[in-house]
Amino acid sequence: MRSVSIIGTGLTKFGEHWNLSFKDLIAEAGIKAIQDSGLARKDIQAVYGGCMASGRFIGQEHIGALIADQLGLNPVPSTRLEAACASGGVALRNGYITVASGLYDIVAVGGIEKMTEVSTEDAGFALGGAGDQETELFMGASFPALYALMARAHMHEFGTTEEQMAAVSVKNHKNAINNQYAQFRNEITIEDVMNSGYVASPLKLLDCSPISDGAAAVILCATEVARKMKITDKAIEIIASAQASDTLALANRKSLTKINATKVAAKQAFEQAKLKPRDVDFAELHDCFSIAEIMAIEDLGFTEKGKGGKFTEEGNTAIGGVIPTNTSGGLKAHGHPVAATGIKQAIEAYLQLNEKAHGRQVKGAEIGLAQNVGGSGATCVVHMFRRA
C-alpha cells in the first residue's frame, strides 16, 4: 500500500444557508479544494462524496453524478457513500484506499448535507434513520433519546455528572470563536448549558449539536506522486485509516457506556500508525452530543473508562491540555451538516499540522486523529495524520 497525502482542502461556512443551494455548497468547497491543491480539474481521476439523506432533506438523489457534473469533472467516476453521520469519514477512507492501492494517483473526496430545507421534525425523522427504524425510531426514540440512554448509563456506572458533560460544550464553543467557518462563535458557560432546557434528560439543548448546512472537500494524492510534482510543502500524510461496525440498535449492545466500533477502529489505527494514544497531539472527535465526546476520549484510550467526565472537567481536553480535542469547535459549535463532518475533521488536522489554525493552534502539533461516528455507534471511522 502506498502512502497517501492530503494536498488541498476546501470548506464552506457551516450554518443555515438560506441563500445557497446544495449545488452552490458543492461548488464552493470543491473548487476551493482544487485551487488549494494547485492542480487542475483534469488531474482529478475519481470523486468520492459522502451524503447521508439528500433525498429526505432536498428531494435529490444520484449525488455522485451531481458532484462531478457541478464541478465540471465529467467523465471521471464519481461515487456517493452513505454511513449516516460517518458518511464523510467513509468517503475519505474509500478515497484513501483507491490511492493507496495504486488504482488512482489523485482523487477528490467530499461531504455535504443541506438540512435546513425541512422542518425540525422532518430533519429529526431523517436523522432517526441512522438508528434502527423498526425498534427505535418507530417506537419514538429520537437520537437525543438514544444518547440520553447512554448518558444515564454512564452517570449510573461511573458517577459522571451533567456539569462534566456541559464542560464539553463550553470548551468546544470557546475553540470555535477563532474558527471563521464555525456555525456558533460565541462562548457559553456551564450555567448556560445547565439552564438551556432538557431535550432528553440528562441532555439539554446546549449538549446537542445543531442542524446545519455545509460542505467540505479534500484532494488526496499518492505521496510519492506529490513529491515528484513538488507539491508537498503543505501536504499532510494519512498514516492510518480504520473502520468498524456494531449493532444498529442500542438494545443489542453489550454495553451502553462505550462505542465498541470506536475501540476496534482505534486499535487498528494505532497499529497501522505504530503509535499509542499518548503520541497523539490533538483529536477531532464526534461530539454529536456531549456524552459522545466523553465516551470517545475513553474508547480511544486517552483516559481510563469512566474517567472521561472528570478528565474533561479538569481541562485536559482544552487547548494546552493533555490531549486537545475538537479545536475546530467540534460538531457542537462548528456545526454538523452530517456527511460533511468527517471531511471537516480532516481539514482541521490539515490546518493544525500546517500551523494555520490561527487562534486555536496546538503548539508543536505533529500527530492528529479524527473519529467519525455513524448513528449511535454502528459505524466508526478513525483516521490519523502527520506532516508529509
| Catalytic residue list | 85, 336
C-alpha 307/C-alpha 301 separation (Å) is: 11
Evaluate whether 343 touches 216 at the Cβ level (below 8 Å): yes
User: For the chain, how far is it from start to end, CA to CA, in angstroms?
Assistant: 16
Q: Look up residue 216 and give its three cell numbers.
A: 467540505
C-alpha 65/C-alpha 70 separation (Å) is: 8
Q: Who's near 134: CB < 8 A, 6+ residues apart?
A: none
List Cα–Cα distances, 293 to 174, 197, 262, 326, in angstroms: 16, 20, 12, 9
C-alpha 49/C-alpha 60 separation (Å) is: 14
Tell me how many degrees the CA angle 264-259-369 measures, rounded to the nearest 5: 60
SS3 132: coil
C-alpha 123/C-alpha 128 separation (Å) is: 8
- Which residue, among 235, 184, 265, 277, has the nearest Cα to 37 in the 3D structure? 235
C-alpha 251/C-alpha 185 separation (Å) is: 37
Tell me how many degrees the CA angle 352-358-364 measures, rounded to the nearest 5: 45
Q: Who's near 104: CB < 8 A, 6+ residues apart?
A: 45, 46, 98
Residue 184's Cβ-side half-sphere holds a number of Cα atoms within 13 Å equal to 22
Residue 18 carries which side chain, given as an amino acid letter?
Answer: W
- Which residue, among 232, 260, 219, 240, has the nearest Cα to 368 in the 3D structure? 240
Please state, as a whole number, how many other Cβ atoms lie within 10 Å of the Cβ of residue 115. Answer: 28
C-alpha 6/C-alpha 73 separation (Å) is: 19
C-alpha 258/C-alpha 251 separation (Å) is: 13
